[in-house]
Amino acid sequence: MRIWKIIIVLLAISVAILSILAGCSSKQTTSAQDKKENHKAHAVAAPVSQEQKSQPNKIVYLTFDDGPGEYTSQVLDILNQYHIKATFFVLGPHAEKYKNLVQQEVQEGDYVGMHSMTHNYKTLYVQGQFVNEMKTDQQIIQQITGIQPILCRPPYGSMPGLNQKLRDQVAAAGLKVWDWTIDSLDWKYNKVPFSKSVPAIVHNVLSHANGNREVVLMHDIHPQSVQALPTIIQGLKEKGYVFETYNEQEHFSLNFWHDNRL
């Protein structure tokens, strides 16, 4: 009888020990599973953020020079249709003539910058009137919109006209200068049938749109530019571009001289 009692007590103790051990190990398994689950959750989340890092939004700035003009309202209609904004570099005399269009551009969230008064190479660069003309243009824009912009687009581009001396003046005046990364060459196709000009302009833009940040030069004073615009927008969208307008708070330097003061 004693032996049986001892055996039963020993059995009870060993069962108790086993059940305690089993409890511990099952807890460990659970926590290990928890860890695995957590790890899985991270593993699922990680590739998304990596993807976002390796494929940042490609940004394109559509810019229109020389306006406003008789085709500008069509350009604005197309931009509205696609819910996108653009940047307009206006000539002072044209802004005076089409004040309502300059106001509409600003009201619709487009940026309006300066493109000089005369658009004359000799006057701007040889006679050195660049800053004077941009300041006059700036005053005209301010009178029309209440906004004093700082960004100019140099007629014919900053190279070679905007020499060191003129760039010093631009920097001292607190103005900024933007050239472009893609020239649509839309002005070249005046009096060419749309059947030829439109595909050429579209090709000029889309074939060069390969970078993460592109600034496209167009003109809102030519009918062929308006005709090409919807296909250009669609093509850029298909290439993954997001459309933005110039923002003074997020200025980045873009001039052919690589002068980062401008």
Q: Which is nearer to Zn ion, 63 or 227 (CB)?
A: 63
Q: Which residues contact residue 136 at a Cβ distance below 8 angstroms, ignoring those fewer than 6 apart?
A: 92, 117
Q: Least distance (Å) from Zn ion to the CB of residue 117?
A: 12
In angstroms, rounded to a whole number, what is the distance separating the alpha carbons of residues 13 and 224?
95
Q: Which is nearer to Zn ion, 65 or 110 (CB)?
A: 65
Closest C-alpha to 105, from 82, 81, 136, 80: 80
Which two structure tokens, joined as six digits, stand for 64?
């229109």
- Annotated active-site residue in 65, 66, 110, 179: 65
Of residues 127 through 166, those in contact with Zn ion by CB under 5 A are 155
DSSP H helices in 55-147: 72-81, 92-97, 99-107, 121, 130-145
Q: Could you confirm whether 34 is annotated as catalytic?
A: no
- x-or-dash pattern for Zn ion, window 53-72, by CB under 5 A? ------------xx------
Q: Which is nearer to Zn ion, 65 or 105 (CB)?
A: 65
CB distance 111 to 244 below 8 Å: no
In angstroms, rounded to a whole number, what is the distance separating the alpha carbons of residues 248 and 151?
8
Q: Which is nearer to Zn ion, 221 or 233 (CB)?
A: 221
- Annotated active-site residue in 137, 219, 220, 222: 219
Q: Least distance (Å) from Zn ion to the CB of residue 152?
A: 11
**Contact positions vs Zn ion (CB under 5 A):** 65-66, 155
Residues with catalytic function: 65, 219
